[in-house]
Amino acid sequence: MLYLIGLGLADETDITVKGLDIVKRASRVYLEAYTSILLVEKEKLESFYGRDVILADREMVESSSDEILAGADTSDIAFLVVGDPFGATTHSDLVLRARELNIPTRNIPNASILNAIGATGLQLYNFGQTVSMVFFTETWKPSSFYDRVKENRSIGLHTLILLDIKVKEPTLESLARGKPVYEPPRYMTAAQCASQMLTTEEDRMENVYGSGSLAVAVARLGSNDQKIVAGTLAQISTVDMGKPLHSLILLGNRVHDLEKDFIRNFAVDVHSFDEAWKGLVSKP
């Protein structure tokens, strides 16, 4: 059996009791470590589980999935995923490959960033489609997220924006030399995301949002150290949310007063929050 086990969002104790039990008895344990990260090191997981964990990078999962699946027809393999196994990043291809090989699979759900943002007090019913934001470069500033945000806002919905992470990316020079050397990991901050959003609005000028639009930044959700900040995009673009991982929510105008009561508590500045809220709800 291939078990896909969600680890939740923060530390080694966010695994479920059911998941931990499988990890303890599986014949091999893999950790998917390229689409998200826990806030603790692999060594901490290993000492908590009392066993070795094999890091599975993108290359292994995408090109050598049969290595992961080896023996899963007769013994149990655990494949650990930060968050939920089918949350922000699906692992459908691994499951499809297992099906081809007649290997049964089972999914152990856990919290994902897609539901944990409910802790902001914004109602999950009021969210439209989720989008991703990649690191802009001088020459590459993809704006497909902008079209999705536009659709959500046209029907009054909030948008969750998931932020780029770069883990184990080879440097260009090292690739040219044929011997990969990896860049240090990079995690987009909520501030970077807000300012990229404002850059895109300046380019596209379709008035989807502006520097005064209300947003909520979150960091390290589910940890002791969780941080939630509400403010305009201009305010968020300078806010320091601390260590990764961050996400950002752009508010839609179909909002409930209970949502206001809840997030006002996280405002950078209550006065400007109230002004921005008035602007939001007075929209047609």
CA distance 46 to 43: 5
Check if the beta carbon of residue 214 is closer than 8 Å to that of residue 119.
no
- The span of 15-23, 29-37, 177-185, 238-246 binding its own copies (CB under 8 A) equals 15-23
Contacts for 186 with CB less than 8 Å, ≥ 6 apart = 135, 164, 165, 166
221 annotated to bind ligand: yes
CB 166 to its own copies: min, Å: 20
Among residues 36 and 237, whose Cβ is nearest to its own copies?
36
> Is 119 an interacting residue with respect to its own copies (CB under 8 A)?
yes
> Is 151 an interacting residue with respect to its own copies (CB under 8 A)?
yes
Sole binder of its own copies in the list 265, 269, 274, 283 (CB under 8 A): 265
> Is 90 an interacting residue with respect to its own copies (CB under 8 A)?
yes
- The span of 59-67, 114-122, 169-177, 208-216 binding its own copies (CB under 8 A) equals 114-122
Among residues 2 and 15, whose Cβ is nearest to its own copies?
15
Burial 22-37 (b: 16+ CB within 10 A, else e): bbeebebbbbbbbbbb
187 vs 9, 35, 124, 161, 241, CA distance in Å?
15, 11, 25, 14, 12
Among residues 191 and 280, whose Cβ is nearest to its own copies?
280
- In terms of Cα–Cα distance, which of 36, 243, 3 is closest to 103? 3
Sole binder of its own copies in the list 135, 136, 187, 262 (CB under 8 A): 262
Beta bridge partners of 234: none
163 annotated to bind ligand: yes
Among residues 208 and 221, whose Cβ is nearest to its own copies?
221
9 annotated to bind ligand: yes
Among residues 258 and 281, whose Cβ is nearest to its own copies?
258
Listed in sequence order, the DSSP H helices in 143-251 are 144-154, 172-177, 190-204, 233-236
Using the 8-state DSSP alphabet, how is residue 208 labeled?
S
CA angle 5, 7, 10 (to 5 degrees): 175
> Is 208 an interacting residue with respect to its own copies (CB under 8 A)?
no
161 annotated to bind ligand: no
246 annotated to bind ligand: yes
Is 226 strand, coil or helix? coil
Burial degree of 3 (CB within 10 A; 0-12, 13-18, 19+): buried
- The span of 38-46, 170-178, 202-210, 253-261 binding its own copies (CB under 8 A) equals 253-261
CB 180 to its own copies: min, Å: 28
φ, ψ of residue 231 in degrees (nearest 5): 180, 180
Stretch 91-110: interaction string toward its own copies, x if CB under 8 A? -xx-xx--x-------xxxx
Using the 8-state DSSP alphabet, how is residue 158 labeled?
B
Using the 8-state DSSP alphabet, how is residue 253 labeled?
S
- Which residues are annotated as part of the binding site for S-adenosyl-L-methionine? 9, 84, 87, 112-113, 163, 221, 246
Residues in the annotated binding site: 9, 84, 87, 112-113, 163, 221, 246
The residues that touch its own copies, with contacts defined as CB under 8 A, are 6, 8-9, 11-18, 20-21, 84-88, 90, 92-93, 95-96, 99, 107-112, 114-116, 118-119, 121, 123-132, 151, 155, 157, 221-222, 258-259, 261-262, 265
